[in-house]
Each structure stands twice: as structure tokens, then as C-alpha cells.
Amino acid sequence: MRELLKATAERASLYLETLDDRSLAPTIEAVERLKNFDVPMPEQPTDPARVLKMLDELGSAATVASAGRRYFGFVVGGVLPAALAANWLAGAWDQCAGLYTLSPVAAHLEEVALKWLLDVFGLPAEAGGGFVTGATMANFTCLAAARHAILAKSGWDVEAQGLFGAPPITVVVGEHVHVSLLKALSLLGFGCERVVRVPADPQGRMRLDLFPQITEPTIVCVQAGEVNTGAFDPATEICARAHQGGAWVHVDGAFGLWAAASPALAHLTTGLHNADSWATDAHKWLNVPYDSGIAMVRDPRHLTAAMTANAAYLVHVDKREPNLHVPEMSRRARAVEIWAALMNLGRSGLADLIERNCRYATRFAEGLSAAGWSVLNEVALNQVLVSFHDDDATRRVIAALQADGTCWCGGTVWRGSAAMRISVSSWATTEEDIERSLAAILRIAKAEAQR
């Protein structure tokens, strides 16, 4: 065991050390070589060292170097050394984090991490929370709590009776709601098309002048960090109007909520603490390994009511029981890495990570604008949208940049036009990486413009 783990640590270290010297996307040859995995399942056992060797030799080269310093695709963080190391140790522990009895350490670290997170986000200390796979499941978990609370008010037990015959609930979302929230709505029986969509302003924020009159029973879904622009819905006003009408306000803050960790950026999150539930990701901006998200609910009773399952053998002790806060029973101990990341960074380190990424995004925007390209969003957070004249040219620049391999940016469609999307989310990115990536983008854009 020891030799195997040591050798694996060696392989993993080498992988990370060489990550920034290779192209961000795997080469065509490396992807081709994945065919070597296509063999019948062996009849006989394979030595663990050989299993690892095969995985490294075929697998490592066919990864996307998204843990590297110049990956600006989607909203993908890297992995902090402390979080990766914690992940390895927790892997060795092999804890089932569902029950306190099964893992006091996993359960305890959930409590500590949750307390720290609520504090970092400026949310009520008494809120409940659960550790899930990502913002999709965090949205799902929070909306299940909302569904419970709203229907309980009308005397309907949704966990027992389901939605058939229940009083209909209105769900209000912004025009630019994230697809994962719509998916959560459909999983919960709300239907993803049976929603009221509030038109957006040019940054993708809900327009208050077109916000509907709210009457019970309603769930209003606010977004903190639009996935293209990074814009925040006007939470103070929305919460006030929604609560006046007796609605539940849920916040999808997959990455945007983390702005609260920076004194310089916290103003973006003003009013979010007035909501009733909040979903966020840890694998994006906290830079912990996949998969990791957090669901937080102001009144923990609604969360546990929606998530409770009981059986005689599931002994519940007089402590916070992890499984009463999430959809899963057995699961890995995600809070271990979250705790390790927060412990490692401290408040100042976390603020610095968020601020640095936002500063780099601003630098990208300035450099692109100075070269004459159109930056399509107000860069207030870590997201930059840029267009290179027309849709075709923009798509060509994205493809050429991805092929070039210096850095990786994805594409999107913003208000009907093709755009390149730059998201700066990694702890490891340096100023030098930004200058090098900016130079590559400008070089490629210029070449494409001259074609």
C-alpha cells in the first residue's frame, strides 16, 4: 500500500508540475490513445501498480489542463494544494459522511465549515446547510426546502403527498436564469417552463421595473453572478418585494456569492442575506477538488423536513446529522476539503484569491478594449465577454485560441451575438499568465481579422 501511494503521489506531482507546459486541451493523439482502454474486462486481477501506470500513461495526457494556471473556460477553479492533500487523506479515511456515528470527524468538520462559510458570506449564523455535489444539487436542495415551507403554510405535506392536488406554486426567475436551476425545478416537479421569467437589462440582471406583483404561494429565484457577465440581480429590492408578498427567495450564487469574501467586492452581494436560501459551489471559486457545492437555508427546520428519511438502523445521535441536510445518504466527506481550503487561506487569503481573479479579469478587458475589440459586459467580477467584430470572426478566434493552447477560453452567445467568454477563477493564475494569455488572444485575433 505504502509504495503504491508514494508512487501515485509522485505521478500526481509530476502531472501538476508539467501542467503549465502542455497545451490546455489534450492533443488529438492523446485522445486517440484512449482507445487503449477499450479492452474486455480482464478475467484475472491486475496488479494495482499496473492499474495506476495505465491510468497515468493513457489518462493524464487526455485530461483537460483545467487545474492549470491559464484555463479560463466555463467557471472552473483549480485545486489548492491544501485542498488536494486533504482530499487524499480523506480518501484514505474512506469515511461515509452520512451519519455522525459513521464519521464524527466528517460530521464535525461540516459544522465548522458551515459556520465559517455562513460568516464569510454574511449569512445568518443560525442557517442550516448541506454539502452536495455542486450548485445544481444545492439549488435542488434549497428549492426542496422552499417547496416544503411554502406548502406546509397551506397545510399541505408535500413530502408525504407529493404535488398532485397541492396548491400551485408560482416560480419567478430571471430571463438569464442558469439552466441548472431550471433543471432543479423540473426534478422537483415544478416544471422548467412553468415559470414567470422577468426580462433582463443589458447585463443580464432582472429588471425591477418589470418585476411582477408577488402573491402567495411563490418562490423567487435570484441570481448572484450571471454565468456570462457575472452580474448580480438587485437583491435588496427583490427580497423586499417578494417578502411583502409572502414569497420565498432563493439565491443561486454558484460563484457570485464568493464576492462577499472580499471587503472590496462585498458591495456586489448587498441584500443577498435577506433571502431564505442560498446555493453555491466550492469547486469553482474556492478551488477545492470536484465535486463540491453547498446548500444553505435560513430556517434549518425546512431543510431537514425536506431531506429527512428514517429507518430503525439509521441511528441519529444528539448532534447535527449530515444526512438530514442533503438528498444523499452515503457520500464522501466533502467538507474536509472545504475546511482545509478555508483554514489554509484564512480570511485574507480568500479575499486575495477573489480580488486577484477580478483584477485579472479587468486587465483582460482593458487589454482587449485597448486593442479595439468590444468587451460586451461591465467587468465587475471575474467574467469577461468579448467579441471580435462579427460572429464568424469571434468563433474563428475561439477555435484558433483553443488550438494554439497557450490558454483556453470558451464561447457563448450573449444577447444574440457570439462572444468569447473569459472566466478567471484559479488560485494559481499569476499576472504573468494573464499577460501571456492576453498576448496570445491579441495575436490570434489580429491574425484572424486579417484573413
Should residue 235 be labelled a site residue for ligand PLP when binding is judged by CB under 6 A? no
Pick from 70, 147, 178, 250 the residue near ligand PLP by CB under 6 A.
178
Using the minimum distance from each CB to ligand PLP, give the nearer residue, 134 or 217.
134
Determine if 135 is a binding residue for ligand PLP (CB under 6 A).
yes
Contact code string over 293-322 relative to ligand PLP, x by CB under 6 A: x-----------------------------
Which conformational region is residue 126 in: left (phi greater than 0), alpha (psi within -120 to 50 degrees), or beta? alpha
User: For ligand PLP, which is the closer residue by CB, 75 or 171?
Assistant: 75
DSSP 200: B
Number of DSSP helices (H) and strands (E) in the chain, helices first: 13, 11
Within residues 74-93, the interface with ligand PLP by CB under 6 A covers 75
**Minimum distance of ligand PLP from residue 79's CB (angstroms):** 15
Based on the shown chain and the rule CB under 6 A, indicate whether residue 65 belongs to the binding site for ligand PLP: no
Closest to ligand PLP by CB, 151 vs 268, is 268
Instruction: Please report whether residue 396 would count as binding ligand PLP according to CB under 6 A.
Output: no
Contacts of 94 (CB under 8 A, 6+ apart): none
Kindly state the number of chain residues that form the binding site for ligand PLP, as judged by CB under 6 A.
13
**In 3D, which of 118, 150, 136 has the Cα closest to residue 249?**
150
Is residue 134 near ligand PLP by the rule CB under 6 A?
yes
Residue with nearest beta carbon to ligand PLP: 134
Could you tell me the smallest distance in angstroms from the CB atom of residue 180 to ligand PLP? 4
Query: Minimum distance between the CB of residue 278 and ligand PLP, rounded to whole angstroms?
Result: 12
| Per-residue DSSP letter, 168 | P
Which of 26, 225, 327, 411 binds ligand PLP (CB under 6 A)? It is 225
Phi, psi of 383 (to 5 degrees): -110, 135
Residue 33 beta carbon to ligand PLP: minimum distance, rounded to whole angstroms: 28
Task: Answer for the pair 113, 342: CB distance below 8 angstroms, yes or no.
Answer: yes
Closer to ligand PLP by Cβ: residue 68 or 77: 77
The answer to whether residue 280 forms part of the interface with ligand PLP (CB under 6 A) is: no
Using CB under 6 A as the binding rule, the residues of this chain from 238 to 267 that contact ligand PLP are 252, 254-255
φ/ψ of 143, rounded to 5, equals -70, -25
Q: Using an 8 Å Cβ cutoff, are 339 and 97 in contact?
A: no
Read off the C-alpha cell for 269.
Answer: 452581494
Alpha carbons 439 and 297: distance in angstroms, whole number:
44
DSSP secondary structure string for all residues of 13-67: HHHHHHGGGS-SSPPHHHHHGGGGG-SPPPSS---HHHHHHHIIIIIGGGS--TT
- The residue count of the chain comes to 451
Return residues touching ligand PLP (CB under 6 A): 75, 134-136, 178, 180, 225, 227, 252, 254-255, 281, 293
